[in-house]
Amino acid sequence: MTSLLTHNGILSPRRVTAVPLGLIASVATVVLFAIAVASPGLIATHGPFALHLQESLHAPSLTYWFGTDESGRDLYSRVVYGTSQSLLIGLGATGVSLSLAVLLGSIAALSNRFAAGVVNRVIEVLFSFPTLLLALLLVAILGPSILTQIFAVGIGTAPGYARIIRGQILSAKNSGYVEAAISLGHSRPRILRQHIIPNALRPLVAIIALSVGQSIVWASSLSFLGLGVAPPSPEWGALLDSGRAYITQAWWLTVIPGLVIVALALAATTLGKYIQKALERGER
Amino acid sequence: MPKKTSALLPTLALALGAALALTGCGAGTAAPAGNAAATKVLGGTIQYAHQQEPSCVFGGWIEQAYLSYQVLDNLVSLDSNHKVVPWLADSWSTSADGLTWRFTLKKGVTFTDGTPVDAAAVAYNFDYWLKGGNSTAQVWLAGYYKSAQAVDSQTLQITLSAPYPRLADTLTQGYFGIQSQHALTTRTAAQNCEAPIGSGAFIVKKWNRGQNILLTRNTNYASAPANAKHSGAPYVNAIDWKFVPDATTRAAALKSGQVDAIYDVPSIEWSTLKSGGFQLDRYVTPGRPQQLTFNLSRAPFNDENVRKAFAYSLDRKAIVQTIGRGVIPFEGNGGVSRTTPGYSTAAAGAYTSDPAKAEALLDAAGWTGRDKDGYRTKGGTTLEVVLPYGAGSIINADGAAILQGIQEQAKGVGFKVRLVPVPQSELFAGAYAKPTEKDLSVGYWTAVTSGILYVNWKQSTAAAPNYNNAAFVNQPELEKIILAANSESDVAKQNALYEQAQQYIADHALAIGVYDRLSTLAVSPRLKGVWQENAQGGPVFDDAYFVK
């Protein structure tokens, strides 16, 4: 995913000439999720916890769009009400991840050789852990909760982004315009403020969009493993986990929350790509 | 070249395909079918997928009893009519005052280490349990057991301090499996934990922690219980007792033929497996059902009205029938389950769903306010109750779904039930055991008699604390009834007293039943002769054989 950011060739604006269907679909998806967060009652058809004991394990129908679970709870409404929690985790984890990444990446790129060396090694050590393993480790230490999930996913994904940011800062630092600024006698803080930071951190906007989708997927993985939010929370990963017990009889309990996670991750990724392209056009 | 938008389609197609593949792979059907004329094959290894892995083979948890049953013999066994039948003991008798029991042992039985199963070894086991060798055997016998001694090599005498007419019934449970005295005294605790030495049908060969235990055939086995389907050594060579915690995986492994039998069949899989030709066994565990005990030591459940309001707020039957899909029985009785001798149907029917009554009781108890989420309040405090449960250990996935239903139903009258899933490791390390940590305790305790009431409701004193009393407040009046029942030799009178005790629990809303704990088994058509023993419902593989 991150490699897309560095291959500018495939993101040439000239190639997008027809109707940007992906963009429209992504914006529509994000708007829908935004409504689900702001006012879930507006689009939900039932309460997220309301039991309809006579309607247990009904396949998707006109009454229950996404079907019902073992207690007859409406899956569609649970997905809608679960959006805010899932997005909170996604955005929170992205916030934690990028804050940490900016801090580590900046030190690695801008400080003296010793500090940069130490931070680089730290990033490399963290990087050598698979993201999920690092997140699992944190959940094991801190115990499962939303906050833990945010930090576990945030810290787990930070090393990758730290490397990107370090690379961006280094390339800005060594660019011709910075050399020109140095030769013009601009002060170090001014060069940082006016040239390096804006140029190095611009791709972050796209990374944020990409990271939100990715974080939701990671957080869902933790919930799926029973290490996230406790049931009967409608958080998407928790929905996947509880649907697992019925996978042979009620496919909708796992497939639909899974597709919802895919839809949001795709929408966020597509938007991220368009934002990046827009920023590049702005540069030209 | 607006190609990028179409990338969505292949991705979605891939996701759908994966989903269908997932659901499809679980829908496989049974292996050989229509084997009416199947022939018996001697030998082979039974691949058995069990849910939970205990820390030792022998111990005070039912999961240990299931395992130790394969390896150890008991003095007596229970048949399908709840009659105590011979096992290591051929016969037994009680003195007129009920204080002395004599068991006559079978001759010529040896432990798998070669030492004889004699009265001295059995007497040693009794003292071993009481000294902490088995926590459950200890709580059953404490208060009644005085001593055990060998009258001669084949005669064991048990002396009690008070009559306990149901002693023989009690001794049929796996917690009372007899081990080699030589092994207990000469080997390390770790060795006796991993591979106890008994005289049973199988021997512990190897335990790969986290994976499986390999049990091999005791070729000299000659002490099968009177209710076994055959005497002599097992037909199969070994049992590969695997630990597969996930129920869906277990069911899928059985359907695909990877394993021959599974424990704890999810209710959702019941009908599919049945139509697929698998043998399905269901044992409704006697003893304490899956029930909720109220913590009487603190607000809000120190108020009887609030406890009753909680009981009336629930439609336990509806939720259990929905989740249980006709497999899990609803249980209204908070004392004992429906298969326990001395069960009271009156106590079981004490509380039916009546939200209006629940609301009135809460109003009367002063919980009249409402917070922003609609939960009741009193003096600014929300009516919140904490309900921790052993997720995946004491409470399986079906049980967890039932508890979620209870949470939602109680919310209807203004209770905020906080469900806390507690992992097995934390639960057994003592998490949420203190009265300051919870308001409701959920759980079962298997037993073959209503004597379980004594274990659960015995008064806790400084000298003899009872950590099994989840109400955390002594009930002297209740204990008096139970003690009278325990020592009553007339069965009808004893049952009447136990019923009275259950009624007391219902009248004061000390505990309410939810569902009966089950021991379920699904067996492949290629394996025959597997049955569930009658004291605890564990699988019996001694009589099992493969067919082709």
Q: Quick one: DSSP state of residue A175?
A: S
For residue A129, the distance in angstroms to the closest alpha carbon of chain B comes to: 24
A142 contacts chain B (CB < 8 A): no
A28 contacts chain B (CB < 8 A): no
What's the rounded Cα separation, in Å, for the pair A10 and A14? 10
For residue B24, the distance in angstroms to the closest alpha carbon of chain A comes to: 7
SS3 assignment, position B151: strand
**Cα A277 to chain center, whole Å?**
19
For residue A115, the distance in angstroms to the closest alpha carbon of chain B comes to: 41
A248: left (phi over 0), alpha (psi -120 to 50) or beta: alpha
Residue owning tokens 């094991």: A140
Dihedral pair phi/psi, residue A3, rounded to 5°: -65, -25
DSSP-derived pairing of the beta strands B416-422 and B384-390: parallel
Amino acid code (one letter) for A31: V
Q: Encoding tokens for residue B412?
A: 């209807």
Note the pLDDT tens digit of each residue in B388-445.
999 888 998 899 999 999 999 999 999 999 999 988 888 888 899 999 999 999 999 9
Cβ distance A72 to A49 under 8 Å?
Answer: no
What's the rounded Cα separation, in Å, for the pair A149 and A231? 15
What pLDDT is stored for residue B36 in this prediction?
A: 52
What pLDDT is stored for residue A284 in this prediction?
A: 56
pTM tops 0.90, yes or no: no
A258 contacts chain B (CB < 8 A): yes
Q: Strand (E) positions, B11-119? A: 40-41, 45-50, 76-78, 84-86, 89-94, 100-105
On the question of pLDDT at B131 being above 80, the answer is yes
Cβ distance B75 to B119 under 8 Å?
Answer: no
User: Which of A19, A49, A270 is the closest to B408 by Cβ?
Assistant: A49
Residue owning tokens 């009367």: B364
Note the pLDDT tens digit of each residue in B502-535.
999 999 999 999 999 999 999 999 999 999 999 9
ipTM: 0.79
User: Would you call A248 and B319 a contact, using CB atoms and an 8 Å cutoff?
Assistant: no
- Residue B476, CA distances (Å) to B31, B144, B479 in order: 57, 18, 5
A251 contacts chain B (CB < 8 A): yes
What's the rounded Cα separation, in Å, for the pair A57 and B512? 28
What's the rounded Cα separation, in Å, for the pair B422 and B431? 8
Dihedral pair phi/psi, residue B241, rounded to 5°: -85, 95
Q: Quick one: DSSP state of residue A78?
A: H
Q: Which residues of B touch A249 (CB under 8 A)?
A: 268-269, 272
CA closest to B9 among chain A residues? A22
On the question of pLDDT at B7 being above 50, the answer is no
User: Would you call B404 and A248 a contact, using CB atoms and an 8 Å cutoff?
Assistant: no
On the question of pLDDT at B6 being above 70, the answer is no
Q: Which residues of A touch B407 (CB under 8 A)?
A: 232
B523 contacts chain A (CB < 8 A): no
Q: Do B73-186 and B287-516 come out as alike in CATH topology?
A: no
Q: Which residues between 415 and 474 in chain B have a beta carbon less than 8 angstroms from any beta carbon of chain A? A: 419-421
B13 contacts chain A (CB < 8 A): no
Return the domain boundaries, chain A. 84-283
User: Would you call A231 and B408 a contact, using CB atoms and an 8 Å cutoff?
Assistant: no
User: Which of A19, A232, A258 is the closest to B19 by Cβ?
Assistant: A258
Q: What is the CATH number of domain B73-186?
A: 3.40.190.10
What's the rounded Cα separation, in Å, for the pair B343 and A208? 63
Q: Encoding tokens for residue A89?
A: 């985790």
User: Which of A19, A49, A247 is the closest to B26 by Cβ?
Assistant: A247
Q: Which residues of A touch B411 (CB under 8 A)?
A: 49
Q: Which residue has the higher pLDDT, A4 or B347?
A: B347
Nearest 5°: the CA angle B197, B199, B200 is 100
User: Would you call B323 and A49 a contact, using CB atoms and an 8 Å cutoff?
Assistant: no
Return the domain boundaries, chain B. 1-57+200-284+518-548, 73-186, 287-516
What's the rounded Cα separation, in Å, for the pair B108 and B110? 6
User: Which of A231, A242, A247 is the closest to B23 by Cβ?
Assistant: A247
CB burial string B408-434: b at 16+ within 10 A, e below: bbbbbbbbbbebebbbbeebbeeebee
Q: How many helices (H) and strands (E) does chain B have?
A: 18, 26
Range of weakest confidence among B14-18, B157-161, B257-261, B390-394: B14-18
Cβ distance A158 to A97 under 8 Å?
Answer: yes
For residue A270, the distance in angstroms to the closest alpha carbon of chain B comes to: 9
User: Would you call A248 and B269 a contact, using CB atoms and an 8 Å cutoff?
Assistant: yes
User: Which of B20, B27, B408 is the closest to A51 by Cβ?
Assistant: B408
CA closest to B1 among chain A residues? A15
Residue owning tokens 């708007």: A31
SS3 assignment for B212-229: EEEEEECCCCCCCCCCCC
User: Would you call B15 and A259 a contact, using CB atoms and an 8 Å cutoff?
Assistant: yes
**Which residue, among A126, A223, B84, has the nearest Cα to A232 in the 3D structure?**
A223
Dihedral pair phi/psi, residue B16, rounded to 5°: -65, -45
CB burial string B115-132: b at 16+ within 10 A, e below: ebbbbebbbbbbebbbee
Q: Which residues between 95 and 134 in chain A have a beta carbon less than 8 angstroms from any beta carbon of chain B? A: none
For residue A30, the distance in angstroms to the closest alpha carbon of chain B comes to: 15
A62 contacts chain B (CB < 8 A): no
What's the rounded Cα separation, in Å, for the pair B70 and A282? 75
Highest mean pLDDT among A194-208, B35-49, B448-462: B448-462
B26 contacts chain A (CB < 8 A): yes
C-alpha torsion angle, residues A194, A196, A200, A202 (rounded to 10): 10
Note the pLDDT tens digit of each residue in B245-266.
989 899 999 999 999 999 999 8
What pLDDT is stored for residue A17 in this prediction?
A: 55
What pLDDT is stored for residue B337 in this prediction?
A: 97
For residue A202, the distance in angstroms to the closest alpha carbon of chain B comes to: 23
What's the rounded Cα separation, in Å, for the pair B484 and A144? 47
Dihedral pair phi/psi, residue B78, rounded to 5°: -115, 130
User: Would you call A248 and B26 a contact, using CB atoms and an 8 Å cutoff?
Assistant: yes
Average pLDDT score, chain B: 92
Q: Which residues of B touch A23 (CB under 8 A)?
A: 5
Domain boundaries B1-57+200-284+518-548, CATH class = alpha beta
Other beta carbons within 10 angstroms of residue B179's beta carbon come to 29
User: Would you call B2 and A72 a contact, using CB atoms and an 8 Å cutoff?
Assistant: no
CB burial string B370-396: b at 16+ within 10 A, e below: eeeeebbbbeeebbebebbbbbbbbbb
What's the rounded Cα separation, in Å, for the pair A272 and A213? 10
B287-516 is a CATH 3.20.20.70 domain:
no
- To test the contact with chain A by mutation, choose from B1, B3, B4 the residue with the greatest count of A C-beta atoms within 10 A, namely B4
DSSP-derived pairing of the beta strands B279-284 and B416-422: unpaired
For residue A266, the distance in angstroms to the closest alpha carbon of chain B comes to: 8
What's the rounded Cα separation, in Å, for the pair A178 and A164? 19
CATH of A84-283, one of 3.40.50.1390, 1.10.238.10, 1.10.3720.10, 1.20.140.10: 1.10.3720.10
User: Which of A25, A51, A248 is the closest to B405 by Cβ?
Assistant: A51
Cβ distance B21 to A271 under 8 Å?
Answer: no
On the question of pLDDT at B12 being above 70, the answer is no
On the question of pLDDT at B222 being above 70, the answer is yes
Q: pLDDT tens per residue, chain A (284 residues)?
A: 334 444 444 444 455 456 788 889 889 998 999 999 999 999 999 999 999 999 999 999 999 999 999 999 999 999 999 999 999 988 999 999 989 998 998 888 888 888 889 998 988 888 888 878 878 888 888 877 888 889 988 988 888 889 888 998 998 888 888 889 989 988 888 988 888 888 887 777 777 877 887 888 888 888 877 778 878 899 998 898 889 888 888 999 999 999 999 999 889 888 888 887 887 776 55
Other beta carbons within 10 angstroms of residue B43's beta carbon come to 11
Which of the four pLDDT bands, split at 50, 70 and 90, describes residue B1?
very low
CB pairs under 8 A between A and B: 109
What pLDDT is stored for residue B22 in this prediction?
A: 39
Note the pLDDT tens digit of each residue in B172-192.
999 999 999 999 999 999 999
Q: Which residues of A touch B22 (CB under 8 A)?
A: 247, 251, 254
